[in-house]
Structure 1
Amino acid sequence: MNLALTWRLLKGGGRRGMLGTWLTLAAVAVATGLLLFAVAANFAFHDRGERGAWRNPVPVESGGVAVEATRRDFVRDQAITVVDLATLGGEAPAPPSGLPRFPRPGEVWLSPALSELAAELPPEQLAARFPRPAGVLGDEALVYPGELVAVVGRAPDDPAMKPGSAEDAMFGLAPGRVASLAGTPSRDATSYQALAVVAGVLMVVPLLVFGGAAARLTVARRDQRLAALRLIGATPGQVVGMTVAEALIVALAGAVTGTVAYVLAAPLLARIEMQGGPWFTADVFPPLWVFAAVLVAVPLLVGLSAVVGLRRVVVSPLGVAKRETPPGLRAVRVVALLVVLIGFPLLSRKADVVVIGTALAVAFLCVNLVGPWVVSLIGRITARAARGPARLLAGRRLVDDPRAAWRTVSGVALTGFVAGFVGLLSPALDQAPAGPHELRVEASAGQVEQVVTQARERLKEAGLTATVKPEDSVVIATVGGAADDATVDRARTALAGLVPGRTPTSFRDDMRSAEQLFSDVQVGTIVVLAVSFLVAVTSSGITAMSSVLDRRQTYGLLRLAGTPLELLDRARRAETLIPLTVMGGGAILVGAFCALPFVLGSMSPVGVVTLGGCVVVGFAGVIGAGALSRPLLRAVTEDPAPRPD
């Protein structure tokens, strides 16, 4: 019976009543779609790490079935991952996924993108480095589509496969015996997974807050209706049952809509480049159990949030019907935030990612917890200092319902926390100095002069003008003239194999790993902020319209009493912008404070621009969202006989 009555009340709320329902559905849909994105990112980085694990095998002290080494080569300012493999007698071990068989000595297997590039460029620029291509690697062996990878088969006694040579941490792993090609994710992959967890927390917590707040949209209209039912004899159980049923119906429809939207957007999301390239579309699809969990968890969260807000309806329905102001919020909320801020400096860069993620989540929740109390305080100060009716109306409204006012600005305020945190974690990166193109090859002390002579001969045979000189155990070849990318690639090809197992590299090559990391941090920052701002602006727009619907009787009566529409609109803007200024700035400071233990150096101009841009976009988004609800305000105030549902 409760379900049938709930459905009748839901459909019988009129056009504006259904508008409130559609607003809730839209809020849940946005929260669900972005929640799936935030969760899927963690699975995507995990899958990447697993696909590249075969390049990072676990070494063994003795025995083993193969020798493996990893190094980096470069072409057209792009990195090539070169994996050297040699079998240690007997039967060849199982190859990694994407390679049909273990490569024989002299064979080369190229990734699809590298094979196409080798065919496109002149042989002396790339193909001559890999003279015996035997086939093309499958996608299962690649970290991302378009990755440049070469697998080179070698004999176990090849000088390039000599175990015990120094590990080159910048460009790969030294040759080592392995029991199998089943390895573990590399240090880089593990680091990216840890960063993905932190980014996930920065996105998921605001989404959960937004999803919970969705249940409180048009709360005044629903509370009035449920209070009336209580006063005419409905039991507390019936009121709770109807609320849960209504919330679950709307939330489930929104969750399904959000899931469908995410599935449709997945191919576009896969184009976001990280770690050097985009994603396989399958990467951005989490396991099916994640979709099922989200479809269950989101409606339950919305339903639980709706039930939590029913205390006054159940305990004091007459107070709700009479629109009495609820009791004030307690300052104990501030104590929780202060405790978290005192504990945050105790963290360090070496802290476990789970600890850091948990601490960030708690800080987020504490900012959200203290928000309504601060808004109530702002309202009292605004009302006392008001010099006009607009400020007075705004201040009284903030005091009357600080939770509703906080819901309007909470999205942008929590985004300020994200901006403060990630903005401070954007350190400056030293740029590679401009100068002549120098390629360096490391050689043993007794081979330096021989390598210098051979380098000169090879470069001369390639028709290149270059100066070659030794510097300790490094041979440096300076390519003269207007050395463009093609000329440098010809020099790389000429010097390939000069020292077995070593690749000619430049100072620019040395900087690429750091540049890639910082570039990915910037991309990650943009993605996190984009998600946060999408939540913030959506939250502001939906809650602004919901607030108009909640107070349409009050607005209508004020308009009938002669209050100008412009005055009501100014009061509404002040009610939003005043707490936004205080809480947005405060959230930025709290986020920056939480980032202090993890700062790696001086703050870059990118961080300053990020913070400034967030402030501008945040205010513009809230003002724009408020402007979109102005036609609705005009419509509800033109009703000559305003009445509640």
Structure 2
Amino acid sequence: MSPRQWGTDLAMGARFALTGGREGWVRMTLTAVGVGLGVALLLLCTALPNVFAARGKVEDARYDHTFVYSDKAPPKADNTFLIAGTDTTWHDDDIRGRLVEPEGERAPLPPGVDSFPGDGEMVVSPALKDLLASDGAELLRERLPYRITGTIGESGLIGSHELAYYAGASGLKVMEFSPVHRLTGYGRPDADVAPEKTDPVLLLMILVVFVVLLTPVAVFIAAAVRFGGERRDRRLAALRLVGSDSHMTRRIAAGEALAGALLGLVVGTGFFLLGRQTLGSTELLGVSVWPGYLDPSPALAALVAVAVPVAAVLVTLLAMRGVVVEPLGVVRAAKQRRRRLWWRLLPPLAGLAMLYPMIGKGRENGDFNQYYVIGGVLLLLIGITALLPWAVEAVVVRLGKGALSWQLAVRRLQLSSGTAARMVNGIAVAVAGAIALQMLFTGTESQYTKATGQDPGRVGIQVEFSDREPLSGVEREFTGTKGVRAAVSLADLEYGQTRRDPEHSGGMTVGNCTALRELATLPSCKDGDVFVTRTRSHYEDPGNADEIALFKPGRTLYLDPSYGEATTDRGMEAPWTVPANVRVVDARKDSLVESHSVLVTPAALPAEAAPALASDGVYLRLDPSVPDSREYIRNVAARIDPLASTYTWVATEEDTKYASIRTGLFVGSVFVLALIGASLLVSQLEQLRERRKLLSALVAFGTRRRTLSLSVLWQTALPVGLGLLLATTVGVTLGSVLLKMTDTPVAMDWESVLTMTGVGAAVVGVVTLLSLPPLLRMMRPEGLRTE
């Protein structure tokens, strides 16, 4: 067969699709919408490389930690500026903050900022500006008491909903271990970008996530190009009557599918452009982008533009092999040959064979072969689409007796089980992939989640100051803060046995009785007491005999009243007599911090030591009945020290890359579920349209609408139930293999499996309910009219 004949026949099929009257246009529209939804999601996936690259480019361009704690920091000059991080959190949203002070006229501006804000002024992101102007943000406005003078442009933000600001400052000082540093420009130098070896298990997760999310899209596109197949085949019978052979009718049918696929490309591009603008103004699971980030990769977009029409032609030709189109009709209603099982088992078995060599590798035994992973997972999921028609046919052929609605549904499924299976293929593939991924994430969660050793019930928030603050003042500030039950702040002092060059020296921890009880087991405590622990927490050598012997009542030691300053030439100056009430106690095994062995209350120290009683942090126990307790604390910390940092204590900490992959999975799942729902609805409407005359005829003969509605529900419920059962089996199998590949024990999380299955059933249930109104409109005698 010459290419010219192929082109002629395909063009004829496309012409039939475009000029087929109202029925042809309806079928074209349904096909275009179904294909378009899949194309839109595929184009979104082709834009992901650009999204990651664009966000990374912005992050690198505004990088401002180049010389932190480094002797490479430049001297003050006309082109330098001082910058300090003032990141904060508002409820669960992170806010990126910077204090900026230019030191010369040629100091570079931050990306996206037109001019430096003055002292007491700030430029903010559009999202932060809206947040500050909203109701209920009084505490945040109090924490950021700057006047807004401008907004940060797109080049300085990683997303449209990022919360960020640059505030003007004066008098910033660069000191050792200070959050303030001097720069000559923004940007990440090449030296800071060290190549990092990717965790093989995380790479495996990324590959599986992409395959699992994209396979249902391909299945839906393949199903969409077959919309209206029964009516199309009856039209092709007329062509046989006027002289076309079977091969020509197949090519004409492929031409009709090709026209629908090409129109679907146009519709899908429109959906994508609409979604591109929508995504640029919304935030999903804490992730936002700019519309410009969602530019598809040209090569990948071209691949989609070629692959979708080609797939439409191939799917149609493959489907036509099972249909005999004769001049006097379509041989479809005759008794069909039973579907064979053996070849349908080959794809999943081949998938398992591809994954088997990688079982037991884990993260220590080399990388997983990405081609084997993609091929194996893809074959297992595609195997569902091969097995499901056989399973539906094998079950419904044995059904029969029951209510009238049941009999109508079963008879319809017996006549067209393949059509029913095609509707469910996509949801079954999606559920199987979701179950496998859920098992993989649940099984490996412990490998990427570590215990921090922190007790959130003991300390809710920890505040660290950029400089030392007076101990008593800090305690008063936070103890009186709304939502704080207790505030623990500690100071450190150095002591020596002699005034200069002591043979024995060490450190002591100073705090009130509440604070010291967080470090040691105290029988009683009042201000003026001194304790020496016989054990030491957080130390390999728990013995403490030397300090117990040194701290005898009446012995004179010397304190350094300038702890933390450069006092190497001054020695220990303040004399201190060890009081008579010194007691030996045990350190707590769960001591709040790594403390010294000597614990002292402030009243036990001489007046000369008062300047040293300063703290660089405070630990706060919260009142859970106060909903905004953390916001009150952050406001107090910002008032005491604008450069203070606050940390919420958590019992466990999750790997950031692992969390990012899981977030990406959730975001992708939302889009795939939306596609599943929309495509199923379109497919359901197409099926109802095919049966409109039959439904109208049954109503005209007196069949109750309730009976017909129940029959339609049964026609959906039976294939869905079988599809979800098959999806659960394949999903559990794939999940078990993936866990074996990561060298993780296989443990079934049946709650997650049932949840994923329930989500799939819920999507189908919603689609079925949405299709009921059109169904009721079609069950009218007027539906028997024809043109």
**Structure 1 and Structure 2 fold alike (TM over 0.5):** yes
Whether 2:359 is the aligned partner of 1:346: answer yes
Q: 1:279 to 1:195 in 2, by over 3 A?
A: farther
Task: Specify the alignment match of 1:585 in structure 2.
Answer: 725
Matches within 5 A, 1:166-565: 181-182=188-189, 199-230=209-240, 232-235=242-245, 238-273=248-283, 276=286, 278-287=288-297, 293-312=303-322, 317=326, 321-323=330-332, 324=334, 325=336, 328-341=339-352, 343=355, 346=359, 350=363, 359=373, 362-388=376-402, 394=409, 398=413, 400-421=415-436, 423-424=438-439, 425=441, 433-434=456-457, 438-441=461-464, 451=468, 454-457=470-473, 467-470=488-491, 471-472=593-594, 475-478=617-620, 484-485=629-630, 487-493=632-638, 496=641, 503-508=644-649, 527-548=667-688
Could you list the runs of 5+ residues in structure 1 that have no partner in the other structure? 164-173, 444-449
Contact 2:638 2:644 in 1 (8 A): no
Q: 1:69 to 1:250 in 2, by over 3 A?
A: same
Q: 1:441 to 1:567 in 2, by over 3 A?
A: closer
Q: What secondary structure is seen at the aligned counterpart in 1 of 2:211?
A: helix
Q: 1:523 to 1:319 in 2, by over 3 A?
A: farther
- Look up the equivalent residue of 1:50 and give its one-letter code: K
* Aligned pair partner of 1:23 in 30, 39, 49: 30
Q: 1:575 to 1:604 in 2, by over 3 A?
A: closer
Distance in 1, Cα, partners of 2:367 & 2:279: 25
Distance in 1, Cα, partners of 2:360 & 2:777: 48
Contact 2:696 2:780 in 1 (8 A): no
Distance in 2, Cα, partners of 1:557 & 1:288: 52
Task: Specify the alignment match of 1:594 in structure 2.
Answer: 734
Distance in 2, Cα, partners of 1:233 & 1:24: 28
Matches within 5 A, 1:91-130: 97-98=111-112, 111-112=124-125, 126=143
**CA distances 1:468-503 after superposition (whole Å, capped 9, x unpaired):** 225326843448998945541343225548xxxx85
Distance in 2, Cα, partners of 1:601 & 1:127: 50
**CA distances 1:239-262 after superposition (whole Å, capped 9, x unpaired):** 354334322322222221222233
**CA distances 1:214-250 after superposition (whole Å, capped 9, x unpaired):** 1211223223333442454325664354334322322
Contact 2:14 2:259 in 1 (8 A): no
Contact 1:390 1:567 in 2 (8 A): yes
Whether 2:298 is the aligned partner of 1:158: answer no
The structural deviation recorded for 1:620 is 0.9
Contact 1:72 1:81 in 2 (8 A): yes
- Look up the equivalent residue of 2:188 and give its one-letter code: L
Distance in 2, Cα, partners of 1:276 & 1:549: 41
Task: Specify the alignment match of 1:611 in structure 2.
Answer: 756
Task: Specify the alignment match of 1:624 in structure 2.
Answer: 769
Q: 1:21 to 1:518 in 2, by over 3 A?
A: same
The structural deviation recorded for 1:321 is 3.0
Distance in 2, Cα, partners of 1:602 & 1:468: 45
Task: Specify the alignment match of 2:607 in structure 1.
Answer: none
Q: 1:223 to 1:25 in 2, by over 3 A?
A: same
Contact 1:416 1:585 in 2 (8 A): no
Q: What secondary structure is seen at the aligned counterpart in 2 of 1:439?
A: strand
**CA distances 1:342-366 after superposition (whole Å, capped 9, x unpaired):** 7378377749999679746753553
Could you list the runs of 5+ residues in structure 2 that have no partner in the other structure? 1-7, 76-81, 482-486, 492-592, 596-615
Distance in 2, Cα, partners of 1:150 & 1:328: 68
Distance in 1, Cα, partners of 2:667 & 2:328: 45
Q: 1:233 to 1:507 in 2, by over 3 A?
A: same
Distance in 2, Cα, partners of 1:633 & 1:117: 49
The structural deviation recorded for 1:208 is 1.4
Q: 1:214 to 1:81 in 2, by over 3 A?
A: same
The structural deviation recorded for 1:84 is 9.4
Whether 2:167 is the aligned partner of 1:147: answer no
- Look up the equivalent residue of 1:143 and give its one-letter code: I
**CA distances 1:368-420 after superposition (whole Å, capped 9, x unpaired):** 43434343343233323422476566556545544322112123222322442
Contact 1:197 1:353 in 2 (8 A): no
Q: 1:606 to 1:265 in 2, by over 3 A?
A: farther
Q: 1:261 to 1:605 in 2, by over 3 A?
A: same
Contact 2:55 2:158 in 1 (8 A): yes
RMSD: 5.8
Q: What secondary structure is seen at the aligned counterpart in 2 of 1:234?
A: coil
Contact 1:50 1:185 in 2 (8 A): no
Q: What secondary structure is seen at the aligned counterpart in 2 of 1:384?
A: coil
Contact 1:38 1:203 in 2 (8 A): no
Taking structure 2 as the reference length, the TM-score comes to 0.61
Distance in 2, Cα, partners of 1:22 & 1:587: 30
Q: 1:505 to 1:245 in 2, by over 3 A?
A: same
Contact 1:375 1:579 in 2 (8 A): no
Contact 1:381 1:395 in 2 (8 A): no
**CA distances 1:481-529 after superposition (whole Å, capped 9, x unpaired):** 98945541343225548xxxx8532334x68985999997786565444
Contact 1:40 1:286 in 2 (8 A): yes
Task: Specify the alignment match of 1:48 in structure 2.
Answer: 55
Taking structure 1 as the reference length, the TM-score comes to 0.72
Distance in 1, Cα, partners of 2:157 & 2:236: 58
- Look up the equivalent residue of 2:87 and give its one-letter code: D
Contact 1:111 1:137 in 2 (8 A): yes
Distance in 2, Cα, partners of 1:117 & 1:549: 48
The structural deviation recorded for 1:273 is 2.9
Whether 2:784 is the aligned partner of 1:639: answer yes
Task: Specify the alignment match of 1:10 in structure 2.
Answer: 17
Task: Specify the alignment match of 1:167 in structure 2.
Answer: none
Greater shift, 477-486 or 581-590, is seen at 477-486
Q: What secondary structure is seen at the aligned counterpart in 2 of 1:476?
A: strand
The structural deviation recorded for 1:576 is 3.1
**CA distances 1:571-623 after superposition (whole Å, capped 9, x unpaired):** 55434322211221331343355345279999999957843651441341353
Contact 1:455 1:495 in 2 (8 A): no
Contact 2:37 2:268 in 1 (8 A): yes
Task: Specify the alignment match of 1:170 in structure 2.
Answer: none
Contact 1:375 1:398 in 2 (8 A): no
Q: 1:625 to 1:139 in 2, by over 3 A?
A: closer
The structural deviation recorded for 1:638 is 5.8
Q: 1:630 to 1:53 in 2, by over 3 A?
A: same
- Look up the equivalent residue of 1:412 and give its one-letter code: I
Greater percentage in helix? 1
Distance in 1, Cα, partners of 2:110 & 2:727: 48
Task: Specify the alignment match of 2:41 in structure 1.
Answer: 34
